[in-house]
Structure formats: C-alpha cells, structure tokens
Amino acid sequence: MRKTALLIPALVVIIGVALSSMFIVDEREKALVLQFGQIVRVKEDPGLGFKIPLIQEVVKYDDRILSRDLDPIEVTPADDRRLVVDAFARFRIADVEQFRRAVGAGGLPAASQRLDSILRAGTREVLGSVSSNDILSTDRAALMLRIRNGAITEARALGLQVLDVRLKRTDLPEANLNATYERMKAEREREAADEIARGREAAQRIQAQADRTVIELVSEAEREAQVIQGEADALRNEIFATAFGADPEFFEFYRSMTAYQRALQGGNTMMVMSPESEFFNYLRSAQGAQSLRATANGAAGAAVQSLPAIEDETALR
C-alpha cells in the first residue's frame, strides 16, 4: 500500500516531465528551441520535437505567406505633384534564426514595424524619381517591382523574404483635389474653345468659298446676258437697217408714226413747236394726209413684199 502511494506521484511527475519535454510543430509553423535566450536548435519540419524541460523553451513562428498593409503615405513625384499612396506587401519568415536575432522577443509585431519603415522609404525613393503621370499609368507595375527589389535586401537582414509589393490606391491629397478639378475644368474649356474656334474658322472659310462661287456665277451669268443682249441688239439693228434699205420712205413714215404715238399721248404734257417743223410733215395738209395714206399703203405693200426676203436672210444668219 505504501509503495503504491509513492508510485502514483512518481508516475505523475514522470508523465509531466515527459509531456513538458515534447512539443509539436504544425506544418504552418517553424520553431526555435531556446536555452536561456540562446538558440539551440531550429525545428522547421512538421512533427514531434523534444526539449529539456524547465531549461529550454520553444518559440514558434508562422511559416505562411503574410500580408502587411501600409498606412497611406504622401509622396512627391518629380513633377512636384503630391500624391497619397496606399500599398501592401506580401512576405514570409525565411530565416527564423536571423529573424530572432534581428527582432528579439518582439516577434512579428516588431518585424512588421521595421518592414513598414523599409517599404515607406523605398516607396518614397522610387516614386519620387518619376513623374505623377508614370505613377498613374500602366508603368506602375515596373515601379512596384523596383520597390520590391529594393526592399528585398533590407528585409533579408530581418530574416524576411519580401514576395510582392502592390500599390492599392494612388490619390491626390484632399487639399489639392479642388485645385486639380479646376485645372482639369480649365483644360477642358480651353479644348472646347479651340474646337469652337476651329469650327468658326472652317465655317468662315466655307462661307467665303460660297460667296466667291456666287459672285463668279453671277458675274458669268451677267456676262452671258450682256453677250446675248448685245447679239440681240445687233440683230435688231440689222433688221432695221435691212427694212430701211428696202423702203426708206416707209421707214421714215414708220418712225414718224412712232414719234406721233409717243408725243400725242394723253396727260398734262405740253409741247411748244413751230408749225413748219419737220415733225408735222405728215399732218400739215389734206394732200399731206392723202399722201400719207398713199405712202402708207405703198410702203406697206413694199414691206409685205420684202418681208419674206428679210425673214429668209434672218433665218440664214
């Protein structure tokens, strides 16, 4: 009975010591065995591990790919156009021994703060060497690669491996938004004014061309009209000359009759002339009137006889 009472506590102590000397490493972790703060052994493979109880301790670190979001930072590109950049990084603990020596007992929070400083400095350095247009264009992929490559060397001293750096958002500072919008508005208005000016210039050019065409057409039409009018006048004069040559007396009678018709129309017109004027040759006496009638009849007959010849000659011309 007494031996049984001593055996049970001994078994408990042995089991407790055995359990405290064992530890399990998950496939997502890496472990360091420390003795009085010094690294004794590294356990990277998943499975069961052993340590000296009470003397040694085990510190485990995450072996997965981790993400770190940076606080928005303000950068000044080469064109002095300030931008607010929001970035994040993907990294993992590559060397747990170096990681422990670099950050000590601070662990991942201390390493994350130091990694933030490295990434902020690299982001300001790379983005400060290019223009804002390069940052906002498709070339930003090359810029992110430069930031990552610059951070890899410094992060290696912390036992970290930087896998990727990405720029999530690139905006203007709140204070510069209104000024930027006004500048964009002014640029659009200037472009609109240029388009309107070019449109007006084209309209004036088309209008001037149309006016010129109108003037040319009207001038050509007037020239042709004057040519036709001149040809008609020449033909009329030729017809009169032919008629006069056929019977000069009838032609003189016809001209006198036309003059009488125009002069003796009704109205308040008054003419003061001498009775002996040649204007009254066909109205001066009865003999003159008879002569007038005879001359008219004879001239009419002669004109009728000569009319076909005149018409034939005119047709030939």
List the beta strands (DSSP E) in 79-159: 83-93
The per-residue pLDDT for 315 is 42
Count CA atoms within 13 Å of residue 307 on its CB side. 7
Q: What is the mean pLDDT of residues 182-204?
A: 90
Do 32 and 96 contact (CB within 8 A), yes or no? yes
Same domain, 27 and 113: no
Same domain, 80 and 162: yes
Least confident of 36-45, 202-211, 252-261: 252-261
Q: Among 172, 187, 205, where does a domain finish?
A: 172
The per-residue pLDDT for 209 is 93
Q: What is the mean pLDDT of residues 236-259?
A: 77
| Average per-residue pLDDT for the chain | 79
Looking at the domain assignment, is residue 225 inside a domain?
Answer: no
Looking at the domain assignment, is residue 308 inside a domain?
Answer: no
The per-residue pLDDT for 307 is 41
Report the C-alpha gap between 257 and 240 in whole angstroms: 15
The per-residue pLDDT for 115 is 92
- Burial grade of 96 (CB within 10 A; 0-12, 13-18, 19 or more): buried
The per-residue pLDDT for 208 is 92
Token couple for 218: 């009207």
Q: pLDDT tens digits for 34-88?
A: 888 788 888 888 877 777 787 878 888 888 889 888 888 888 888 777 788 888 8
Asked whether residue 310 carries a pLDDT value surpassing 50, the answer given is: no
Indicate the number of domains in the chain: 2
Q: Which pTM value belongs to this model?
A: 0.51
Same domain, 33 and 89: no
Handedness of CA 124, 130, 134, 138 (dihedral sign): negative
Looking at the domain assignment, is residue 312 inside a domain?
Answer: no
Q: What is the mean pLDDT of residues 138-167?
A: 88
Short-list 61, 85, 63, CA closest to 75: 85
The gap from C-alpha 166 to its chain's centroid, in whole angstroms, comes to 30
Q: Among 123, 154, 172, where does a domain finish?
A: 172
Q: Among 139, 172, 205, where does a domain finish?
A: 172
The per-residue pLDDT for 224 is 93
Q: Look up the CATH number of the domain holding residue 101.
A: 3.30.479.30
Q: How confident is the model at residue 282 (pLDDT cuts 50, 70, 90)?
A: low
> How far from 291 is each of 249, 296, 298, 302, CA to CA, in Å?
12, 8, 10, 16
Task: Mention every residue, 6+ apart, whose C-beta is less than 8 A from residue 303.
Answer: 243, 246, 247, 250
Asked whether residue 262 carries a pLDDT value surpassing 90, the answer given is: no
Short-list 269, 266, 295, CA closest to 283: 295
Q: Which residues form the domain of 32?
A: 11-61
Asked whether residue 221 carries a pLDDT value surpassing 90, the answer given is: yes
Same domain, 19 and 79: no
The per-residue pLDDT for 227 is 93
| Residue of higher predicted confidence among 121 and 246 | 121
Asked whether residue 197 carries a pLDDT value surpassing 90, the answer given is: yes
The per-residue pLDDT for 200 is 92
Q: How confident is the model at residue 308 (pLDDT cuts 50, 70, 90)?
A: very low
